[in-house]
Structure 1
Amino acid sequence: MIKLYTDAATKGNPGPSSAGVLIISQGKQQQFSFALSPSSNHEAEFNAAIMGWKKVAELFGTKETILFFSDSKIVMDSIAKKYSKSYPHLLKKLLKLQKNYSLVINRWIPEKENHGAHTLALQKLHQL
């Protein structure tokens, strides 16, 4: 089982954006941060999730059970409803990545429980 945490940071709305990805597998953490194209905060949250799922696929393949955590209500609500009025193209990419796995559990968490991914996103944003 793999735990995936993602978060985004944006300076301005829209503005420079970054993503933080924290992956926990077998008690070991792997941390990643990515610069994103300038975007709105919501768009950056979708892109952070997409980057996280791509990283999981790259590192572990698709045979694992994934627990996906995000503090973005719009991302988690969109996944649950399989609908996004404003970001349908990003939701489609995210759902396509998730459907490669036999078991995915998506869970919204409060911001205070997403500290690792949040810190990674902020560190990258400060480098931009």
Structure 2
Amino acid sequence: MWTLLIVGLLGLGMARAAMAQPRTFDPERMKERMYEQVEELLKKMDLDEATAEKVRPILRADVDRRVAMMKERPKHRPEPGAMRERMEAIGRETEARLAEVLTEAQLERYRKLREEQRQAGRRGRPRRN
């Protein structure tokens, strides 16, 4: 009886310790999730196949650049706000490339959907500066 109780308490303690472990940054997992978001975005934009095939590599390149920047972040620890500025610059460059492929209405739809994705990603988390 005591043995069972001790084993149970040890198991509970180990489970709590495992849950308390900080999550590690997995760039490949992040990239995979972001690629899934790209596909969701393309579906919601309701583009014809030819346009979607032009937009997909632009958005995937955006993901690749963001993930590469996140990979280097632990090494360099940029100033507060510097990471956001670089992310915003990537976003502006991506939008400029999309403007070459999309109509103004499609570009507006893209902006709206991206903002919805950002807001959905922030739910429950305060914005960091």
Over alpha carbons, which structure has the higher Rg? 2
TM-score (norm 2): 0.30
* Higher RCO (C-alpha 8 Å, min separation 6): 1
**TM value normalised by structure 1:** 0.30
